[in-house]
Structure 1
Amino acid sequence: MGLLDEARELSIYTAYNTNVDAIVYLKEETVQGLINEFGAETIQRRMEEYPRQINEPLDFVARLVHALKTGKPMEVPLINEELHMWFDSHFKYDVERMGGQAGIIANLLANLNFRKVLVYTPHLAKKQAAMFVNKPNLFYPVIEDGRLIFKHPYEAYRDGDPVKVNRIFEFRAGMTFKLGSETVTVPFSGRFIVSARFESIRIYTEPGLKPFLPEIGESVDGVILSGYQGIKPRYSDGKDANHYLREAKKDILLLKREKDVKVHLEFASIQNRELRKKVIYNLFPLVDSVGMDESEIAHVLNALGYSKLSDRIFTYNRIEDTVLGGKILIDEMNLEVLQIHTIYYIVYITHADNPLSEEKLRQSLGLATNLAAARASLGEIRSPEDFKVGLSVPYNERGEYVKLRFEEAKRRLRTKEYRVVIIPTRLVKNPVSTVGLGDTISAGAFTSYLALLRRKGEL
């Protein structure tokens, strides 16, 4: 019985964020058209200002061109609801599909035929509900006559709920365009996400469902929580981030009340440093596992006061700095396991008393990169059979270099009190899509970690 088969025996609860991803595969002429419309000089001036949110179309164009020049995936919040019209008039969406970490993970695990997948999102409009896969193992919690029952999300939608639309602009390495006198060639494939951050979208558990969280926690083998990046510092009704974080803490404690179910938090970039700090200090100490990418660990370390280390990770992206940052994080937050995924490698950092050996942790990461490679190759994983596609994808060309750098890092850093395991990623040369790859890695890693704990009798 393979590790994926063992993981598929598990039941998982995932919450909170779902949205509709409207995807545009960018073409050179589209980018050039935007530059011509707004003017190269105007765009360059706004790029220097580096707007951290999108309030008008020029903010969007400036940050998009910056992302294309660096070839780095980026996400910038859209705060002006009225811009929906501008985007819809300027772009034809190539694909509309499930977005949001909780939604992507729920569909992935349901398609892999996990025993039971419970997904919760506080906003479930008809359009959103239709994005969930039609699988008999996928459920949404509903309270009827004071009792907790489970329905397929499509049978549970509510008229009048808001829909969150994130617009994703996928770009390919090698695209070229002119910015004034400069010819820009995009160095890496990636994506630029315009994420809707509106008043109407909140991250919380409805009051009617909250008392049933202990029952949900008791009925599953693991919990994956995400979407905290959607919390705003304050709202027009007087509520603020502190209110929603207090409620988020209660949710985790309620899920763990009847049994100490393992909880994984999938961290995503939070632009506001104070808000980032609040999420870290409030929630990390309550969960067992955290997943993030290398730019997110740099953001986290910056919020914890390690600004020099954070800058080094941003600037040089060295393995030893990422590992050092990971050691700091699992110590300060007393995490059981931290998983960091980058384009070239995935790493687990745990304390030395973790029940799983380095070899077992390596197996878990292997499953995670295989799943992501399958998703990148196919665009979507629709059945357990699709997993095999990932096995034929080679490890990236920097794989040997990654291993060498890691051995050097281990010699330089004191790692006796830790288990640090790294594997190169399987890298798809021309991915069908890059959306959801980090979520796929984290879901694969966490569920296989749980399966290995269960095999040892530790779950």
Structure 2
Amino acid sequence: MKKGFACCQSPGLRWEPWALTLASHSSEIHTHTHTHTCMCRVNACVDVVLSGVRLLQALGLRPGPGRDHAVLHSRNDLEEAFVHFMGRGAAAERFFSDKEAFQDIAQVASALPAAQHYVGGNAALIGQKFAANTDLKVLLCGPVGPKLHDLLDDNVFVPPESLQEVDEFHLILEYQAGEEWGQLKAPHANRFIFSHDLSNGAMNALEVFVSSLEEFQPDLVVLSGLHMMEGQSTELQRRRLLEVVTSISDIPTGVPVHLELASMTNRELMSSIVHQVLPAVASLGLNEQELLFLSQSASGPHSSLSSWNGVPDVGVVSDILFWILKEHGRSESRASDLTRIHFHTLVYHILATVDGHWANQLAAVAAGARVAATQACATETIDASRVSLRAPQEFVTSRLEVGSRIVLNPREPVVAWHREGVSFHFTPVLVCKDPVRTVGLGDAISAEGLFYSEVHPRS
């Protein structure tokens, strides 16, 4: 008997020719018989979303040579890192070490007329997406201050132990495709995130999560925020990762756990996550930056590649996804729960699953692509005049082996292929030409994909 991952059984979705709209094969999308519960845990905050260029101008900064920084220590570091990633159109997230300097910058940001406040943090954002469906109840275990509490959906419940007097603020510096600052010009719309967030980084919600398991009895657990530990000592990182794995083991058998990754720079921490946490979760969500960094940190395929050159090559992505599931996923000889990876990049998505454990992959990957277009453009349905197709229309499925060469069919753009017990489902994304918001897209994509997925009970 199949069990819906988010207890949602849905008909398949399809793209119209080059995906002007996504439509269901039936007018009935859900077949719920009772309310279901999801538990999202660890990171939650308030996102202050604003123009990155306007904030840096308000801080009196000017564009210079870009340079990445694993940790930001000053306004100058912020300017260099922002220029580095804006010039590549790439998303990134960094920890700001100086509390007072960060608070000063946050005050300037919040005072700008165009600054907006939203629910933030991967766990909270995924929880919000689930809570938009009235048949789902969400328990959020993470640091929740008064501002965030007011922003949360009524279907999101926060245990009293997670409430705190002060909110954790993350600054989301957005930029548009083609936006210029001095000699700098962004090739894609994206965002740069930074914060001085110690509550999420210390994983203070772990104990609340464990104590809430028995009473809430979730049908799905979403874990996120491991990247926030980069601001902590190596000793604390190791201890907390062990506690994460232990807490996952307390989850009843049959309740799937999804791990959502985010931008990281600490290879040792990422390697520990790969070897310790991945085998304990059933599902993984990540983007192209996180995928390549994961491979680099754990000596995976194509790890000598320093960065992506434009659109990530489908064959390279496929090789890394296959390696993760083969080396760290479930097999007859390995006691691992990992059987699903949802990869998302700007122009296409791939859902990779170990055969025999998942169903409804076509609908799941198509739904993730649909929400990427609608949420970025802030529209209920896909508006063909506001989106463009940038995905490769022809590609090979592997760069390490003799893979298949695939040419996309406009009428059947969700393409599937198989490789040694692993199924791949690929779909293009209609990219919003003038995105209203870029932050939170990855979380919305993962949540929507989970919502349409079906998992077989563990045998």
TM-score range, shorter chain: 0.7 to 0.9
CA contact (8 A) 1:124 1:158 kept: yes
Partner of 2:412: none
The CA distance in 2 between the partners of 1:263 and 1:201, in whole Å, is: 20
Cα deviation per residue 1:400-432 (whole Å; 9 max; x = unaligned)? x34x21568742798142211101113221111
Alignment of 1:30-429 (within 5 A): 37-38=60-61, 43-44=64-65, 47-48=66-67, 50-88=68-106, 90-91=108-109, 92=112, 94-121=115-142, 123-133=143-153, 135=154, 137-142=155-160, 157-159=163-165, 162-178=166-182, 183-198=183-198, 201-205=201-205, 207=207, 210-216=210-216, 219-232=217-230, 234-235=232-233, 240-256=236-252, 259-306=253-300, 308-309=302-303, 311=305, 314-315=308-309, 317-334=312-329, 335-356=338-359, 360-378=360-378, 386=380, 389-390=381-382, 396-399=388-391, 401-402=392-393, 404-406=394-396, 410-411=403-404, 415-429=419-433
CA contact (8 A) 1:355 1:458 kept: no
Give the secondary structure class of the aligned counterpart of 1:302: helix
Q: How far is 1:210 from its partner?
A: 2.4
Q: Which structure: greater helix fraction?
A: 1
Cα deviation per residue 1:257-276 (whole Å; 9 max; x = unaligned)? xx321111111122111111
> How many residues align structurally?
407
Cα deviation per residue 1:225-260 (whole Å; 9 max; x = unaligned)? 11111114745xx9611111111111111113xx32
Q: CA 1:215 to 1:228, structure 2 compared with 1: closer, same or farther past 3 Å?
A: same
Q: How far is 1:30 from its partner?
A: 5.8
The CA distance in 2 between the partners of 1:220 and 1:96, in whole Å, is: 29
- Greater RCO (Cα-Cα under 8 Å, separation 6 or more): 2
Q: CA 1:234 to 1:396, structure 2 compared with 1: closer, same or farther past 3 Å?
A: same
Q: TM-score, normalised by structure 1?
A: 0.79
Q: How far is 1:186 from its partner?
A: 2.2
Q: How far is 1:111 from its partner?
A: 1.7
The CA distance in 1 between the partners of 2:328 and 2:290, in whole Å, is: 16
CA contact (8 A) 1:233 1:275 kept: no
**Among residues 440, 443, 450, which one is paired with 2:444 in the alignment?**
440
Partner of 2:333: none
Give the secondary structure class of the aligned counterpart of 2:430: coil
Q: CA 1:66 to 1:207, structure 2 compared with 1: closer, same or farther past 3 Å?
A: closer
Q: CA 1:209 to 1:373, structure 2 compared with 1: closer, same or farther past 3 Å?
A: closer
1:19 and 2:53 aligned: no
Question: Which residue type is aligned with residue 225 of structure 1?
Answer: L
Can you give the 5+ residue segments of structure 1 that lack an aligned partner in the other structure?
A: 144-155, 380-385
Q: How far is 1:95 from its partner?
A: 0.1
CA contact (8 A) 2:301 2:319 kept: no
The CA distance in 1 between the partners of 2:164 and 2:86, in whole Å, is: 39
Q: CA 1:372 to 1:9, structure 2 compared with 1: closer, same or farther past 3 Å?
A: farther
Can you give the 5+ residue segments of structure 2 that lack an aligned partner in the other structure?
A: 1-8, 12-28, 330-337, 406-416
Give the secondary structure class of the aligned counterpart of 1:255: coil
Q: How far is 1:433 from its partner?
A: 0.3
Q: CA 1:192 to 1:396, structure 2 compared with 1: closer, same or farther past 3 Å?
A: same
The CA distance in 1 between the partners of 2:199 and 2:132, in whole Å, is: 32
Question: Which residue type is aligned with residue 72 of structure 1?
Answer: A
Q: TM-score, normalised by structure 2?
A: 0.79
Cα deviation per residue 1:129-155 (whole Å; 9 max; x = unaligned)? 22212x2x3322358xxxxxxxxxxxx
Q: CA 1:346 to 1:115, structure 2 compared with 1: closer, same or farther past 3 Å?
A: same
The CA distance in 2 between the partners of 1:129 and 1:171, in whole Å, is: 28
CA contact (8 A) 1:393 1:428 kept: no
Question: Which residue type is aligned with residue 80 of structure 2?
Answer: A
CA contact (8 A) 2:368 2:444 kept: yes
Q: CA 1:2 to 1:395, structure 2 compared with 1: closer, same or farther past 3 Å?
A: farther
Aligned-pair identity (%): 21
Q: CA 1:117 to 1:306, structure 2 compared with 1: closer, same or farther past 3 Å?
A: same
The CA distance in 2 between the partners of 1:333 and 1:435, in whole Å, is: 29
CA contact (8 A) 1:19 1:128 kept: yes
Question: Which residue type is aligned with residue 445 of structure 1?
Answer: G
Q: CA 1:193 to 1:251, structure 2 compared with 1: closer, same or farther past 3 Å?
A: same
Q: CA 1:332 to 1:176, structure 2 compared with 1: closer, same or farther past 3 Å?
A: same
Question: Which residue type is aligned with residue 136 of structure 2?
Answer: R
The CA distance in 2 between the partners of 1:26 and 1:39, in whole Å, is: 12
Question: Which residue type is aligned with residue 263 of structure 2?
Answer: S
CA contact (8 A) 2:295 2:302 kept: no
Question: Which residue type is aligned with residue 70 of structure 1?
Answer: R
Cα deviation per residue 1:85-141 (whole Å; 9 max; x = unaligned)? 4314543261011100111111121123233222211x22222322212x2x33223
CA contact (8 A) 1:301 1:310 kept: no
The CA distance in 2 between the partners of 1:208 and 1:10, in whole Å, is: 20
The CA distance in 1 between the partners of 2:448 and 2:378, in whole Å, is: 17
